[in-house]
Each structure stands twice: as C-alpha cells, then as structure tokens.
Chain A
Amino acid sequence: MKNRIFGIETEYGLLIKTEETEVSPAWIARRIIQHLFGQKKLGVIDWHHRGHDEPPGNGGFLLNAGRMYVDMGHLEYASPECHSLWDLLAVDRAGDWLLQDCLEDLGLTELVSIMKNNIDHVTDATFGCHENYLVTREFPFTYEGLGLLMPFLVTRQVFTGAGRIGMARSAEGWVGLDDIKGRGGDRSRKSAEEAVIYQISQRPDYIVNDFFEWVQGNRAIVNTRDEPLADPERFRRLHLLMGDSNMAEETTLLKMGTTGLVLQLIEDGHAPTGLDFDDPVQTLRGISRDQKREWMVTLSTGQHLSALDIQEQFWEAANKHYAGQDEETDWVLTHWESVVKDLRKGYQAVVGRVDWASKLWLLENFREAEKLEWDDSWLKSLDLEYHNVDPQAGLYHGMTEEGDAPRFTTNELVNLSKVNPPRNTRAFGRSEIIGHVIKEGWADFLEKTAAHQDPRRPPYVINWSVLQLQDNPPFVMADPFRTYVKESRDYCTEGASPPIPEPLSNKQDK
C-alpha cells in the first residue's frame, strides 16, 4: 500500500491442559524458544542483553525477519516489516504456524494449546495485539492530528472486534473492595456480567486513556511513544494497542488496510472532521458492550450517529480520494464498504468474515443445542477455543475447513513465509544476514565457544534498524522501504569491508 510499512505484534496465551505442576506456561515458552532457534535453526537467538526484561537467550530474529521472544510471560511474535497487506497476512499466520509446529515437534499438543486471543475470563488478565504503521516525521502527532483518527479507531471495532463473553471486572483485573467476600461478595461483578452477556471486542475493558506513551497500567487508544525503529528524522511509527488479535483473514486485512487509508487521509488533509467524542474511552466501551448492537454514539456537537455511520463517512472520504490508487487500496475500499453495509443487515451477514460475529454465531448455536445458560463455563471455553491456532482443533479453523470462513492467503504462502521475508522492505536484507549467521554456525556460539570467547561479546547483534557482525562496523538499515539486499550480501561475504555508508537522514530519498 502506498507509502506505508505495516507490522503486527501478537502476544499468545498458553493453555496448559494437564495438572502436572512442572508444566507451566513459562516452561513451555522456554522449550518452544529453544526448539525454534536451537534445534530447528529457523532464526538466531539473541546472545546480548536487549533490556532489563530481555536477558540473553530470551528470543531472537527469525529467517522471515520477524522476531519470536518471551515478553511478560507470553510468547510474542513481531512480524517483519511489510509493504503489502498480503505479505502481512501471510507472515502473521506464519507466526501461528511456527509455534504450532514446535508444539507438534515436541509432542506437546495433548498438554498445551496456543491461543491467539487477548483475555483470560477468570483472572481478567489481558495481553495484546499491537499494530505498527510507519508514517513520516511530518505526520501530525498532535491532539488535532491524532484527534481525526480517534473516531475511526473507536468505531472500527464493529468489524475488527474478536468478541468475548462477559466483561472484565476492571482494567488490569484489579479487585475492588466490593469484590472481597464479606464486603458484599462479588455482587458488583455478577450484576455487571448479567448486563453484558457478550461484547464485540476484547480490549476496550482495558483501555483507560485516549493518548499515552506507556503501556501497562495506562493503556491508551493511541500509544504516543516515539520509537520509530528507523531514521528518526524521517519516520515515526504509529503504535496501536487497542485492537484485538484476529483469526479471520478478511478482518486482519481490513483492520490494517482501513487504518492505513485513514492515516493517509490525515496526511493529505482529507480526513472527515466534526466527529469528535467528549469521552472516546467510554464511547469505545459503550460500543463494545452494546447488547442491542445498535452502536449509537453522541458526538461532542450533540449529534447522534451510529458507529456504522461514522465508518461510512471515513469510507466515503477514502473512496473519493484513493479509489484506483493501487490494487490493495481498491480491495480494501470494496471490502470495507461491503462489511459496513452487511453489518446493517445483522451479524449473520458477516459470519466467517468478522470474528465477533463468527464466534457469536457458534456460541448461539451451541447454547441452543446444549440448552446452556450464558454463564456456563463451557461457553467461555468455546470462546477461548475459537482462538486455538491448531488447525485440527480451533473453532475458527473449523469454520475455514467447512468453507464457512473465506481465505485470503494460501497454506503454501504461509509455509513460505515461515522462512522467507517480504522481499520489498528492509526485512529482506535482515534475513540475508540472519541466514549468514546460521550458515556460519555463530548462533551456537555459547555452546561451541564458551571456553575461549568472551560471552559478553557475542559474534552478532541483530536488531530492527541496526545489525553488527563480529569484527565489522555496524550495518544501519534506517529506511524500512529499502531492501538493503545487495549491501547485506556484501556485508556478509566481504568480511570486514564496511557497509555502504548511509547518513541517518538521507534527504535525497524524500
């Protein structure tokens, strides 16, 4: 898509199905990382300290140029940089498959399931699916500029939400005094859950701010941390953490594609105006929890509109200015219009395309067949199982198997993307260097060379925008739109010869 680089970061949940005490999510995550990098050699483990919470061996970069690691007890996969939405979908699914492959290799499928969701119904824990959009440094990171994005983000959940039964007790799962037995029991939670049987999105319960730069404890609709992972004079990275992990392929494409187009509307001065909310956070939650699914909102002007009306306004602006821009833009415009129109007919019209609708449809049918009440734990277990990445077990995958959920990539492309990077971004150059490190056997250096090499000086350091091989100067990849493939190959094969010098800010590329 024009002028955009996309990325998705997914934190997975691990369901331990056994009562064996030694099998914990942390133990499973460690075994998977060791297997992926140590045995399968599908990437190179980080032997350097990346941060206080990332000691050596915590994770590493993959041959597809993405990264797999453990973050706050969760396996996390960060996709490589993608210029194309279709590449993004394939590499996103490749992350699921890489992990599931490891479970199968390790004979752990009977003990463990890997879930691509964002909540724990019991503990109220949440974990994220973060979206990254590269924008220029000139993008208006102001209340006025990002304020234009807010109504779109608050309402897009009508087609991007993953759905869930019930609601979180409070942000972060904090226990209020009223929840403590003997102080009124847990009546407050129960009455709230009765009111919210099913909501369309998983994350709104945990979003407590409109703009903020940090994550835990103060999750915002727009994270404003300035960490471009590229030339900071030319680029900025819009980091969103309010979205759900999506199973439906159409939703993944639409979530990233529509957001990319709205960013373009803002960049070009074409974004719809006058759609502000007085309280975007409460509006976000109100839409998600609306049991009638009318999704009516009140603007700061006092005007009443539905979330679908607001999405239509953004679609109309994007269609007016960008129809015919490129093949991907046209695909997004067509499917954006279609899903919004179909949502007006009822959720059944988007089953298979929109996660919350698919899940609700499955739950409604099962509840009816088994004569269950909505608070039955079996239904929450099915809610979770929708997100199982195992194609033999997961309910979403069951829908694709039955032909009830459309595919927009192929198994062949996902398999290819497990070990190959997108070929039109700097991911290509990074992958070349990762492949070289594997070939040279440097990734095993602690085991092989601990006796005679200082473990504080690993033979390589790989990162998103800078890499360094032993005895070589740093190799800078400041522009995510470039492949750096020739330079990276030269850097690997010509030993100590320096990479092509590149100033951090290359004005000629503007």
Chain B
Amino acid sequence: MEQTKECAQMVGSLDRKERPVDHISKPSGPGDQESGPKRPETGSPSGDNLMKRMKKVDPKQAEKYRQRTGE
C-alpha cells in the first residue's frame, strides 16, 4: 500500500503523462472505409518522397552488412 502511494505521488508530481498520443487517422486503405491507415500514394514514384528515399539506397548495401550472430 505504501508503495502504491509513493508511486502515485511521484507520477502525479511530474509532467510526464502516461497516455497514448493517438495520431491514427481513420479510415483507410483501398476498398476499406472502416478502419486502418491510409495506404500511401505511390502511383507516381518520381514524385513520391518515399520512392526518392528508396532510390537513394545503395543496391549493394545488404552485401556489405556483415553481422555476427548475437543472441
């Protein structure tokens, strides 16, 4: 019980609010008007920032990524 009080006091005394920041905009994807995020527009790759980002990637970088096995 004492611990609960302690926690409550600490949480209450600080600005950090423990709650989600829900930026989901609903709806939706193609053919889906109920839920889910908007499917990004990539019909025109040359005008799309994501496609530009992808084109900048070194096509051989996966071959340079020589990792050791971890856990």
Contacts and interface: CB of A to CB of B under 8 A. Distances in A.
| Interface of A, helix, strand, loop or mixed by DSSP | mixed
A385 B20 contact: no
Given A128-B70, A350-B37, 6 more contacts: A74-B70, A253-B20, A348-B32, A349-B35, A399-B40, A485-B10
- Interface bin, chain A: 35 or more
A125 B54 contact: no
A374 interface: no
B49 to A, nearest CB: 6
A36 B62 CA distance: 27
Contacts of A328: 18
Contact of B60 (A361, A381, A405): A381
A1 B7 CA distance: 13
Interface stretch (A406-414, A441-449, A451-459): A406-414
Given A115-B65, A127-B67, A482-B3, A410 B21 contact: yes
A416 to B, nearest CB: 7
Interface string A396-409: 00110111111111
A424 B65 contact: no
A120 interface: yes
B41 to A, nearest CB: 9
Interface stretch (A41-49, A135-143, A176-184, A362-370): A362-370
Contacts of A215: 71
B54 A416 contact: no
A401 B22 contact: no
22 contacts: A72-B68, A72-B71, A87-B18, A125-B68, A127-B67, A216-B69, A348-B36, A349-B28, A349-B29, A351-B36, A361-B39, A377-B59, A378-B59, A380-B62, A398-B49, A398-B53, A403-B38, A404-B39, A408-B23, A410-B21, A423-B10, A481-B7
A350 B24 CA distance: 12
Contacts of A121: 62, 65
B19 A86 contact: yes
Interface string B43-67: 0010001110110111111111111
B69 A384 contact: no
Given A120-B65, A126-B69, A402-B49, A353 B36 contact: yes
A369 B50 CA distance: 12
B61 A17 contact: yes
B32 A404 contact: no
A25 B67 contact: yes
Given A351-B39, A405-B37, A395 B65 contact: no
Nearest to B31: A345
B40 to A, nearest CB: 4
Contacts of B70: 11, 71-74, 76, 125-128
A245 to B, nearest CB: 11
Contacts of B64: 15-17
Contact of B45 (A173, A331, A365): A365
| Interface of B, helix, strand, loop or mixed by DSSP | loop
B66 to A, nearest CB: 6
A246 to B, nearest CB: 16
A483 B6 contact: yes
Given A73-B70, A87-B18, A377 B63 contact: yes
B71 A120 contact: no
Contact of A127 (B24, B28, B71): B71
A398 B10 contact: no
A125 B67 contact: yes
A120 B67 contact: yes
A482 B5 CA distance: 10
Contacts of A342: 32, 35-36
Contact of B66 (A122, A378, A401, A509): A122
A349 B36 contact: yes
A416 B17 CA distance: 12
A-B pairs with lowest CB-CB distance, top 5:
A127-B70, A378-B59, A380-B62, A349-B36, A352-B37
A7 interface: no
A331 B53 CA distance: 33
Contact of B62 (A345, A348, A384): A384
B49 A365 contact: no
Nearest to B44: A369
A398 B13 CA distance: 36
B62 A377 contact: yes
Contacts of B62: 121-122, 377, 380-381, 383-384
Nearest to A401: B49
Contacts of B50: 362, 395, 398-399, 402, 404
B6 A482 contact: yes
